[in-house]
Structure 1
Amino acid sequence: MSAAAGKPQVLLQRFVMLSAGWHLFVFTTTGVWGSLYSPPQFAVEVAPTSVDVTLVEEIPSAPRQEPLLVPEPAQPDDLPQAKAPEPPKEVPGPVVSDPMKGAMAEAKPDYLRNPAPVYPREARRRGWEGLVTLKVEVTPEGIPSLVTVEQSSGHVILDETAAKTVRAWQFFPARLGNVPVASSVRVPVRFEFMDSHL
């Protein structure tokens, strides 16, 4: 590329720069620039406030003086008589709820999680059925501590199976107010065949 070919390009750049500078000078000095751009205008409406506060200057007042009263000398009849001291009044103490008072709730087996007894094979083979009533001593933790047969089914194998199963159960402990306590509960266990067995 020759030096002559590059010269017109340099001249063009200078011309554009000078033209831009000249226009900027003219716009800023003549105020044309200000007429071309104006910031947006906003209308602001003044609304009354919900609370008007008026400050009032406090006027200091003179200190108030009480008249000085001088008691008259007491006469013997006017002298106060000594009163017998009153006995102290009873002040009620704080109300304390005894956790051992309140409604007694009986222990209950957790039937949803406790397994049902398995029907003994020999009892099924012989067709034995019956109702066993067990007396269960339940600890405050809900654990059976003692299981005894209160009323037999008439078959020892059914009684023993029922007692063995209930010994593994978990109970909701009895409550006195909101405190779990030891208690005893009767648990009936029925062994009977359903229609499908017959």
Structure 2
Amino acid sequence: MTRPALSLPWFVGLSLAGHAMLLAGWYAPQWGGDYQPPPLAVSVSAPHGSTEIPAPPRETPAPAPRVARSAPQTARAPDALPTRTASSTTEAPATPETTPDRVTPASASTRPRHLAQARVFVNQQLNHDIARYFTYPALARRKGWQGTVLLGFEVSADGRIHHIRVKRSSGHGLLDHSALRALEQVERIEGFADRFAFRLYNVDLPVIYRLGTRG
């Protein structure tokens, strides 16, 4: 029994179909049902210039101290004094020149202390003196108005009070005016001229209006 011969066209078609299936399986991407694309990377950029490190300043060598050559001459000045004991009139000007130099630094260093002492003295004195003229307006008491008035003023060398003003209001014009009027009636800081011989600027005085509770 003989097998039927395969025709050439049928064999060629079968071969082409097989190659096509192989090529399709080679180039097809291997994606399954659970495939997920890779996540995106997020980058944060710093503001411009924030990552730049400034170059360190160039160090300049400090200039060498200059030594005055006249210093040895001044150091020899005391040696020459004994040789001129006969002419006492020529040595007299040296004494008044050294006296102001020693007094000036001392007065400059003690001036801030004197200013602080003067302010303390003024506040203590005014707390006593202003009580004689201090009034709490009846209308303010009835309405229950309270507050603190900050007064500013200056004190002259003779103790007189000048340029009185309200620097911070209590919130009630009636209380502000009452405190201003009380300080104007004081007029002078007693004892200031005897202790301090200078003008005192920008002095602050708080005047407190507070209603007491009845027991």
TM-score grouping bracket, smaller chain normalisation: 0.3 to 0.5
Structure with the larger RCO, 1 or 2 (CA within 8 Å, 6+ apart): 1
Of structures 1 and 2, the larger Rg is shown by 1
